[in-house]
Chain A
Amino acid sequence: MMRRELVAASAEPLVLSLLEQGESYGYAIIQEIKNRSRGELEWTDGMLYPVLHRMERRGWIKSRWGQSETGRKRKYYSLKEDGRKAHRKQREQWLKVHCVLAGLWKEKHV
């Protein structure tokens, strides 16, 4: 089980990366993240929505009310230009952290 701080910190880049692939909605985003992390990233579902709303206020994403396959009301989110920029920036930062850690761990194994 991952630490709460790390889960919270990774929420934004995860959501941005998923929305980069196209429009989506809260429930689907969470399912996708759970599947991809094989349940390692344990989110309280309710935690996602404040993240989405915050990103919307920042102008990174936009939302619209649509319908689900069964005709229910559903809120869809998609990336805006500023969101793409933020995504690129966060990607760079996470890759940097990843590279440094990978380098350090490699040295240890030699």
Chain B
Amino acid sequence: MFELEQAIAAWRQRLESARIKAPDVLDELESHLRDDIDALLRTGLKEQQAFQTAVAQIGELRTLKNEFGAEQKAKRHILLAAIGAYALITIVPVLFKLGSFADVTWSQQRWALAAVLVTVIGFFAGRFFGRILPHVSKRALLITTAAAVLLQLVWLLVLFHHILQTVEWDTSQVVLAVLWGMSPISLFSIPLGMEEAAAGRTPKSHV
């Protein structure tokens, strides 16, 4: 026996698992679906037929996902490109130099590598969270971004005023300071991931 309410709830669930998570958007789509079902029922269709027709009419999951994904694609790409460019112009020359310094010890090279790894892993970890995080409000997003900025500043303060005061400055240590100094940039991937969760899509869904 076909249960309309159950079918609608299941349809909504499918949208959610396709990462269209914002409750506002889901409510709006459901409201649309119900309007369409009502209109179809008035034409004499059975509940099940009306439901199936309305679902086809509003669009397949993939279509909906693409429509909602394309919307925010451009903005996110600019942001990612900016962060990527920033990372490239800082990390690459520093790493390149590191290889050519005579006074760099093996242990320092390992520490440098660790700094880069922490940054890169941190960055992707935050974005990965976007896939499993629930929907967040704009306010929560703002607070997280602010917290990330604050933490970055605190880290720079600690690094320059406490950690780096205790070391003698030679080239390799400057290199390490730069690499570790910029590692908190990975924190920004958390709001980025949250935004992805909010937008209801994954980084790869539109590729």
Chain A contact residues, CB within 8 Å of chain B: 25-27, 31, 44-47, 49-50, 53-54, 68, 70, 72-75
Contact = CB atoms under 8 A, between A and B. Distances in A.
A98 to B, nearest CB: 27
Given A53-B71, A54-B71, A47 B59 contact: yes
Interface of B: 24-25, 27-29, 31-32, 34-36, 38-39, 57-59, 63-64, 67-68, 70-71
A47 B67 contact: yes
Contacts of A44: 57-59, 63, 67
A53 B68 CA distance: 9
Nearest to B67: A50
A50 B70 contact: yes
21 contacts: A25-B31, A26-B28, A27-B32, A44-B59, A45-B32, A45-B58, A45-B59, A46-B67, A47-B67, A49-B29, A49-B67, A49-B68, A53-B25, A53-B71, A54-B71, A68-B31, A68-B35, A70-B38, A72-B34, A75-B27, A75-B31
Contact of A46 (B34, B35, B38, B58): B58
A27 B28 CA distance: 10
B63 A50 contact: no
Contacts, number: 53
A45 B57 contact: yes
Given A49-B25, A75-B28, 7 more contacts: A27-B31, A31-B39, A44-B57, A45-B36, A47-B59, A75-B27, A75-B31
Contacts of A72: 31, 34
Contact of B68 (A27, A50, A75): A50
A26 B32 contact: yes
Q: Which of A31, A44, A54 has the most CB of B within 10 A?
A: A44
Contacts of B70: 50
Contacts of B58: 44-46
A19 to B, nearest CB: 16
